Amino acid sequence: MQLLSAGSHRLVLLEYDLEALASVAQQTDFQVEIQETPRAVTLDIWTEKRQVPLLLFDAAEPANLGWFSRCQFYVDGATGNVLQTPISVGNKRDRAGNLLPDALRLRLAKEVPANFRLPGRQALNEQVVYGLLFNLLQALQQVGVAVCGGPVFQPLSGRRESPTPRD
């Protein structure tokens, strides 16, 4: 972890260990491919053992209310950001354009504002992100993750609102 100052802006530069990220994914029974860029690390994750979709539920659907109340993580459906974390998610699709129910793309930001804090005012470092990633991957398989509105990221489980055509 490094601190970068550019004028009045201060950023924390996170330096992820790619082997540690792969290990976290494997511990939670996901297969993973990792790509690194100067500003982020992208993890394409999928599971071959799972017979049902990953537990990503539409929070707006009343039938999913029980799941929503148990979720530890919430995804902004308009941006794909996992709220209050440096992680964002994206849907994976097959060649025909259909959603893959057992695969996701995760993006871990390497640059975050120096004043970024997790819930409970916890400061951010690489070890904390590894823990967040582990908990998120576990939630995708066991507890559920709520998707809150927006057309960018689509839920994979439970009832979903039908997308409305845009004028």
Cα separation, 41 vs 15, in Å, equals: 10
User: How much of the chain exceeds pLDDT 90, in percent?
Assistant: 50
Measured between its terminal Cα atoms, the distance across the chain in Å is 46
What are the tens digits of pLDDT across the range 27-62? 999 999 999 999 999 999 999 887 888 888 887 776
Q: Six-digit token pair at 114?
A: 């120096």
Bridge partners of 1?
A: none
CA distance 71 to 74: 7
Chain length of the chain? 167
Nearest to 1 by CA among 90, 10, 9: 10
Domain map (residue ranges) of the chain: 2-148
**Res 22 pLDDT > 80:** yes
Inter-CA distances, 72 with 1, 2, 49, 65, 89, Å: 26, 29, 24, 14, 15
Place of tokens 């964002």: 88
Mean pLDDT (the chain) is 86
Higher pLDDT, 43 or 164: 43
pTM score over 0.85: yes
What is the bridge-based pairing of β-strands 56-58 and 145-148?
A: parallel
Question: How distant is the alpha carbon of residue 120 from its chain centre?
Answer: 20
Per-residue model confidence as pLDDT tens digits over 109-134: 999 998 888 888 888 899 999 999 99
Q: How confident is the model at residue 164 (pLDDT cuts 50, 70, 90)?
A: very low
Instruction: Please tell me the distance from the alpha carbon of residue 43 to that of residue 18, in angstroms, as a whole number.
Output: 10
